[in-house]
């Protein structure tokens, strides 16, 4: 038997799942990137072979390193030119084209093409025919309400909404990471009779490997002029729909003597400059923008040592930073929207965007006893352990991909 035939036979023995839409693995940042990393890292079933697309800038692309193995997944670098916002669309199309051709070449039986986010809807009619011709299925993760994000211009938002509609239309299965998103898909796209399932995003439940006496955490606190357990924390993308302005304004109105530490990237961000003018937060010494932290163990330790965590996201599904906060920080103060209540339930306190609502909650939180905070923290950890651990999430994914009953 020649080598090509041997490879084909080996490939046909497994369920092949082609994942595209993330920037790739190993994950450096981002929810989808972390998801793919953990899905492959915690893989239990030997029946599944994952294939993952990875975005590489055309200037850095090395054709000799196009394919590599990571966490047992066969990863392929897709070269894309930096052409602005359309770069992600071009990347998804190139990845899907490559994967469909690959499945054809090796005569892979019943391949699954799993697309993360709804960027390429207008092109899905063409690709769906190709996928059907090789006996494949199209799975889609619709993500959150991308068309609601304020960072996009009106024409881009319109594109997102149309694209989402067409992705839903052509999908054989939509895997929603939030029950609220699943409900929205079913109700708004009733005309397509979408088939959906709910599988949440996951979170780590282990403690940081760093100790309080480790130099890495001590140096970080010294450099940022912050003390353990004497700060409220937020970690996330610096965009308007995450309600940074509300959180900053309300914090400034509170009486707390603790700091407000913001771990986020604000370089060359017009929203940041506008926020300075609108709130004049620079006059409040308690508010500290400390940049980004990519060391995951350090970030986990910073979360663990926070007095409280703010979460102001109101667009999207199950948010990774919320799960990480619930898994690490005892006292979480969340914006009162369906997405957040669905995840945390009784393991958090909630605030609205009305004047003084969060400010009053901060002042009340400052007066809570250690036992009261600990009780809420236990409930938060239980939510993560019971419903959002990566072991549990990966098991649900594998059963779905292999068409097995949970």
E strand or H helix at 163: helix 154-170
E strand or H helix at 321: helix 320-328
* Per-residue pLDDT band at 86 (split at 50, 70, 90): confident
Indicate the DSSP class of residue 385.
I
Q: CA 87, CA 224: separation in Å to the nearest integer?
A: 35
pLDDT digits (tens, 9 = 90+) for 43-55: 999 999 999 999 9
Q: What is the pLDDT averaged over residues 261-274?
A: 86
- Whether the predicted pLDDT of 351 surpasses 70: yes
Task: Using CB atoms within 10 Å of the CB of residue 10, give its burial: 0 to 12 exposed, 13 to 18 middle, 19+ buried.
Answer: exposed
- Whether the predicted pLDDT of 7 surpasses 60: no
**Token duo for residue 109:** 């039986």
- Whether the predicted pLDDT of 150 surpasses 80: no
Query: Which domains, and CATH codes, for the chain?
Result: 3-202+390-401 (3.40.50.2000), 215-387 (3.40.50.2000)
Q: CA 167, CA 128: separation in Å to the nearest integer?
A: 10
Q: What distances in angstroms separate CA 179 from CA 155, 197, 200, 331, 338, one per listed residue?
A: 28, 9, 8, 24, 9
- Whether the predicted pLDDT of 406 surpasses 80: no
- 311 contact partners, CB below 8 Å, separation of at least 6: 234, 236, 319, 321, 322, 325, 332, 333, 334, 335, 340
pLDDT digits (tens, 9 = 90+) for 232-257: 999 988 888 899 999 999 999 999 99
- Whether the predicted pLDDT of 115 surpasses 90: yes
More confident residue, 145 or 137: 137
- Whether the predicted pLDDT of 153 surpasses 70: no
CB-based contact 94:107 (threshold 8 Å): no
- 249 contact partners, CB below 8 Å, separation of at least 6: 279
DSSP 3-state assignment of 365? helix
CB-based contact 68:90 (threshold 8 Å): no
Per the omega criterion (within 30 degrees of 0), is the bond before 363 cis?
no
- Whether the predicted pLDDT of 363 surpasses 90: yes
Q: What is the mean pLDDT of the chain?
A: 91
The pTM score is: 0.82
pLDDT of residue 356: 98
Q: How many CB atoms lie within 10 A of CB 6?
A: 10
């Amino acid at each position: 038997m020649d080598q090509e035939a041997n490879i084909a036979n080996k490939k046909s023995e497994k369920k092949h799942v082609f994942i595209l839409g993330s920037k790739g693995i190993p994950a450096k940042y981002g929810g989808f990137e972390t998801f793919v990393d953990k899905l492959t890292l915690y893989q239990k079933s030997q029946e599944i072979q994952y294939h993952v697309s990875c975005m590489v800038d055309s200037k850095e692309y090395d054709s000799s390193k196009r394919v590599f193995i990571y966490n047992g997944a066969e990863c392929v670098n897709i070269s894309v030119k930096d052409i602005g916002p359309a770069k992600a669309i071009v990347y998804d199309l190139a990845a899907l084209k490559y994967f469909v051709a690959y499945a054809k070449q090796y005569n892979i039986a019943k391949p699954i093409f799993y697309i993360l986010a709804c960027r390429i809807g207008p092109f899905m009619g063409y690709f769906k025919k190709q996928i059907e011709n090789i006996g494949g299925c199209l799975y889609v993760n619709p993500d959150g309400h991308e068309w609601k994000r304020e960072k996009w211009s009106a024409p881009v938002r319109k594109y997102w909404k149309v694209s989402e509609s067409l992705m839903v239309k052509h999908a054989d299965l939509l895997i929603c990471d939030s029950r609220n998103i699943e409900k929205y898909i079913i109700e708004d796209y009733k005309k397509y009779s979408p088939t959906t399932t709910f599988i949440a995003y996951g979170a780590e439940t282990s403690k940081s490997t760093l100790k309080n006496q480790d130099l890495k955490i001590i140096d970080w606190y010294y450099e940022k002029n912050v003390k353990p357990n004497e700060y409220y924390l937020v970690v996330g993308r610096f965009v308007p729909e995450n309600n940074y302005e509300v959180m900053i304004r309300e914090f400034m109105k509170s009486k707390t003597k603790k700091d407000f530490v913001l771990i986020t990237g604000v370089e060359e961000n017009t929203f940041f400059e506008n926020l300075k003018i609108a709130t004049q937060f620079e006059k409040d010494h308690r508010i500290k923008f400390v940049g980004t932290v990519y060391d995951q163990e350090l970030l986990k330790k910073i979360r663990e040592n926070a007095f409280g965590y703010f979460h102001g996201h109101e667009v999207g599904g199950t948010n990774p930073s919320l799960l990480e906060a619930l898994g690490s920080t005892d006292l979480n103060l969340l914006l009162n929207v369906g997405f957040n209540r669905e995840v945390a339930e009784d393991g958090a306190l909630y605030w609205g965007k009305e004047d003084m609502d969060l400010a009053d909650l901060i002042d009340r939180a400052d007066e809570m006893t250690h036992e009261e905070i600990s009780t809420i923290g236990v409930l938060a950890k239980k939510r993560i352990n019971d419903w959002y651990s990566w072991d549990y999430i990966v098991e649900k994914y594998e059963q779905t991909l292999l068409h097995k009953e949970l």
